[in-house]
Amino acid sequence: MYLSEMNSTLFRMINDLGKEFTSLNPTMVFISKYMVIFLALAVILFWFTRRNNNRIMIICGAITFIVAEILGKLAGRIHSNNQPFAELTNVNKLIEHSIDNSFPSDHTILFFSFCMTFFLFRKRWNFLWIVLAAIVGISRIWVGVHYPADVLVGAGIAVGSALLVYLFIPNLQIIEKALRVYERGERLIIPARSRSND
């Protein structure tokens, strides 16, 4: 009961900021709805650098997301709650969203799966990926579609999955073999100008 009250109180604290700082609402709506497009572009750009390390990173990110989503669905069977706007009164709801089980946040799982993977693989400015994922998670609370617990559990599942995948997947021979087969096919369609390994 205490955790539920704390979850609702923290939600109010963040969501009510949208009532106080209305000028930030369009930015939060944009981050909440459209930052996923920039994540997709980052994935595509990293992949088509044709660097082996970048491609293994994207593969790890994808596997992390799959593992985290499965774990998220299992967590959703253990505990469930609807979106805050469906359960609470006077919510500052800034985007349209269907009513379903919002625990844990799929959006947060997606961002933390890839951003945590980028954090583990990239050496320079890697912390910015975690900052981006955190901002996206906060934006989902700000616009009224997730509780803090939805976001925190989604982030925790994704971070844990990313760490496990990072420890085991990059060293698997089957990944290297699959990449070589793919790259032979890719070179037939898009000739490589130059290739380098990170």
Check: CB of residue 116 under 8 Å from CB of residue 159: yes
Provide the CB-side half-sphere exposure for 146 (13 A, CA): 23
Q: How many residues does the chain have?
A: 198
Instruction: Please tell me the predicted confidence (pLDDT) of residue 198.
Output: 47
Greater confidence (182 vs 96) lies with 96
Q: Is the pLDDT of residue 24 over 60?
A: yes
pLDDT digits (tens, 9 = 90+) for 54-113: 999 999 999 999 999 999 999 999 999 999 999 999 999 999 999 999 999 999 999 999
pTM (predicted TM-score): 0.89
Tokens of 24: 């930030």
Q: How far is CA 94 from the centre of its chain?
A: 20
Greater confidence (165 vs 193) lies with 165
Reported confidence tier of residue 197, pLDDT bands at 50, 70, 90 = very low
Instruction: Please tell me the predicted confidence (pLDDT) of residue 193.
Output: 57
Instruction: Please tell me the predicted confidence (pLDDT) of residue 133.
Output: 97
Q: How far apart, in whole angstroms, are the C-alpha atoms of residue 139 and residue 107?
A: 11
Instruction: Please tell me the predicted confidence (pLDDT) of residue 192.
Output: 58
Domain boundaries defined on the chain: 8-48+57-94+101-188
pLDDT digits (tens, 9 = 90+) for 107-134: 999 999 999 999 999 878 889 999 999 9
Greater confidence (44 vs 191) lies with 44
Q: What is the dihedral of CA 72, 80, 27, 9, to 10 degrees?
A: -130
Greater confidence (22 vs 183) lies with 22
